[in-house]
With several copies, the nearest count.
Chain A
C-alpha cells in the first residue's frame, strides 16, 4: 500500500541532501570540535559552517545563535533564560492561550518561582488582538512570547506588529518559529524579534537539534551550564552532525521556500475545497488567509478525530488530530477550544500538514477516500443520528 504522509507538522524526514551532509560527521570526522589536534579540526570547521548557514537564514551575526537539542529546549532557554536574567526588572510574561506545551508548561513552571503570566485569548480565527496585547503590558512585563505560526492550525500571528509593540514598550520579544521556519520568511532584522526558536526535525533535519536566535545585548541565564560551548550559554559537546544537518536544512529552506510554498498552497486549497465540496458538515479551522501554506485543519462534525486517523492510517495516510484521544489526555486541543470550537468539533478535527514528499496525486487519493470514511464513522455516531 502506498504510504502518504500528511503529518509534516509532527516531524519531517531527513532530506537526502541533509543526510549526505551530516554523514561524514557520523562516520569519519568524529572528533570533538574543542580538540586542537587533527581529529577536532574538521568538526570545528563544520560547526562554524553550520552556524554561518544559520546566520544567513536568520540574517544575524554568529554570536547571535545558540544550538540546542530541540525546539522545546530553545523555548525553555528563551523564556526561562530571559525571566531569570531579568527577574530584578520584573516578573510578568505575556503569551497566548494557543502556544505549544513547551511554552505553556514553561510559563506554568515559572509561576512556582513567582513569575506571572498573562495568556492572551484568541478569536474564532485563532488570532490575538493587538490592543489586548498592548493593554496587557505593565511596568513589570519583561517578556512577550508568542508563536510565529500555530502547529495545529497553521495560523500566522502578526509577528512584525507584535515586535513593533514590544520594541516601543521596551519588552523583550520571543517568537516560537518552529512551524514557520522554512514555510515563511524569517528575517529577524525585519521582524524585530529578540529571540526566535527553530527545530531541526520540522525542517528536514534530524531530531535532536534545534537553535535559538538571541539578539545581541539580550542576556539569558543558561539552562545548561558546563564548558565554554556556545559562548558559555549552553554547555555540552556540540552535536556536530546535528549542527551540520541543521545548517544544510536551513540552506535548502532558504533556497526552496518560495517555490515550495506555492506548491503547498495549491494542494492546501484543493484539499479544503475538495473536502467542502464532497463532505457535508465540515469546518475549516483557523483564519482562511493568515495561515501557513502547508496546514489544513478541518473539523468533521459528529465524529471523533482518532477514529478518522485510524481509518486513514489503514489506507496508508498519516495525519493528526486535535482529539484528546491521540494525545492520551482527556481534554481536546487547547488551541481549538480557545478558538471557541465546541468540544465535539475539537474532538472531530483532523490536521493535514503538507510537505516536500506530497504530490497532487496524494491529494487526489485523500479526496477520494475521505468521504466514505467520514460517512462510515458518522453512521456509527449517536450524535449524527440525533442531528438528523
Chain B
C-alpha cells in the first residue's frame, strides 16, 4: 500500500520529540479523525534551526510528520511556509488516495508552528 519511502520514514522517523524551549509550536488534528500532530520549532535569524514532531496517527501521518521535519530543517521561514501538503506527499513518492487527508496534517502543523512563532515574536 505504502511506498518504500513512506515505510522508511514510518520505521525510522526523523526528529521525533519536542525541541527544548521551542520558539513555535503547532498542534493540529483530533482524535475523532485518528490523527493528532504536534510540531515544535527553534528559529534563529529567520531560519528553522531545529524541528521535532510527535504524532498520534497512522503510517501516513507518521511518515508525513517525519518528512516535513526533514524538509524544513535549515530552511528560512518563507521557504518553509511555501511547503504544502502536496510537497510532502510528493517527497514521499506519493500516498494512497485514501490517505491524502493524513498528509494534510503535516503541512498544517508546520504552518501552525510558524504562525505561533510569529505571534510570539510580534509581541
Q: Could you list which residues of chain A lie within 8 angstroms of chain B, going by C-beta atoms?
A: 36, 41, 302-307, 310, 314, 323-326, 328, 330-332, 342-344, 347, 379-383, 385
Q: How far is the CA of A307 from the CA of B38 in the complex (A)?
A: 17
Q: Residue-by-residue, is B48-91 near A (CB-CB < 8 Å gives 1, otherwise 0)? A: 00000111111111100000000000000000000000000000
Is B38 within 8 A of A382, CB to CB? Answer: yes
User: A330 to chain B: which residues have CB within 8 Å?
Assistant: 33-34, 101
> Cβ of B34 and Cβ of A304 under 8 Å apart?
yes
Query: Is B5 on the interface with A (CB-CB < 8 A)?
Result: no
B16 near A304 with CB under 8 A, answer no
CB of A263, distance to nearest CB on chain B (Å): 32
Contacts of A344 in B (CB 8 A): 31, 56
- Given A325-B58, A382-B54, decide whether A310 and B99 contact each other with a Cβ distance below 8 A: no
B16 touches A380 (CB 8 A): yes
Among candidates B32, B54, B60, residue contacting A385 with C-beta atoms closer than 8 Å = B54
Q: B117 → chain A, closest Cβ, in Å?
A: 18
Give the contacting residue for B16; candidates A305, A323, A379; CB below 8 A: A379
Measured between alpha carbons, how far is A306 from B96 in the docked complex, in Å?
14
Q: How far, in angstroms, from A305 to B31 measured CA to CA in the complex?
A: 12
Q: At the interface, is chain B mostly helix, strand, loop or mixed?
A: mixed
Taking A310-B7, A324-B33 as known contacts, 18 extra A-B pairs with beta carbons closer than 8 A to each other, sorted by chain A number, are A41-B1, A304-B56, A305-B58, A307-B58, A307-B59, A323-B34, A325-B61, A332-B32, A343-B32, A380-B56, A381-B54, A381-B55, A382-B38, A382-B54, A382-B55, A382-B56, A383-B31, A385-B54
Residues of B in contact with A (beta carbons under 8 Å apart): 1, 7, 10-11, 13, 16, 18, 27, 30-38, 53-62, 98-99, 101-102
B95 to chain A, nearest CB (A): 12
The smallest beta-carbon distance between B102 and chain A, in angstroms, is 7
CB distance from B31 to the nearest CB of A (A): 4
- CA A379 to CA B18, docked complex, whole Å: 11
The interface residues of chain A lying within 8 Å CB-to-CB of B36 are 382-383
A41 proximity list for chain B (CB < 8 A): 1
Q: Report B100 CB to chain A, min CB distance, Å.
A: 11
Q: How far is the CA of A330 from the CA of B32 in the complex (A)?
A: 8
Across-interface contacts of A343 in B (CB, < 8 A) = 30-32, 34
Contact A310 B101 (CB under 8 A): no
* 14 sample A-B contacts, Cβ–Cβ < 8 Å, listed by A number: A303-B56, A304-B35, A307-B10, A307-B59, A323-B58, A325-B60, A325-B61, A330-B33, A342-B31, A343-B34, A347-B34, A380-B13, A380-B55, A382-B27
Which of B31, B55, B101 has most A Cβ within 10 Å? B31
Question: Whole-angstrom distance from the CB of A338 to the nearest CB of chain B?
Answer: 15
A305 to B34, CA, bound (A): 9
Nearest-CB distance from A129 to chain B (Å)?
A: 27
**Closest beta carbon of chain B to A330's beta carbon, Å:** 6
Using Cβ atoms and an 8 Å threshold, which residues of chain B touch A332? Answer: 32, 34
Contacts of A385 in B (CB 8 A): 18, 54
Contact partners of A381 in chain B: CB under 8 A: 54-56
Contact B13 A36 (CB under 8 A): no
Cβ contact within 8 Å between B54 and A310: no
In the complex, which residues of chain A have a beta carbon less than 8 angstroms from the beta carbon of B18?
Answer: 385
